[in-house]
Amino acid sequence: DGYSNNEDGDPKSTFNTETRFLTQDVIEMKASAGIGVAFTLPTPIGKFKAGVDYVYEYAWNRNLVEDKDGAAHYYVFSGTWRW
């Protein structure tokens, strides 16, 4: 069920013992932008569709570590065949 009892018998979450949402001194912030391109090619036995997506992300205070700033790049390549 996602919960267990602590020493006092009170239920607590098993997946996170402490939730500090917006109460911690350091807040992680992110900004991201992305672009995607897809195309379809008709073939004698169906259609082939391919796509490429790219996302640039910049984060401040990554993993709640103060002044740990940096960028990340994410790429996705996809393809489908329909007949």
> pTM to 2 decimals?
0.63
- For a pLDDT cut of 90, what percent of the chain falls above it? 61
Q: What is the pLDDT of residue 23?
A: 73
Look at residue 70 and give its three-state secondary structure: strand
Reported as a single tens digit per residue, the pLDDT across 30-81 is 999 999 999 999 999 999 999 999 999 999 999 888 999 999 999 999 999 9
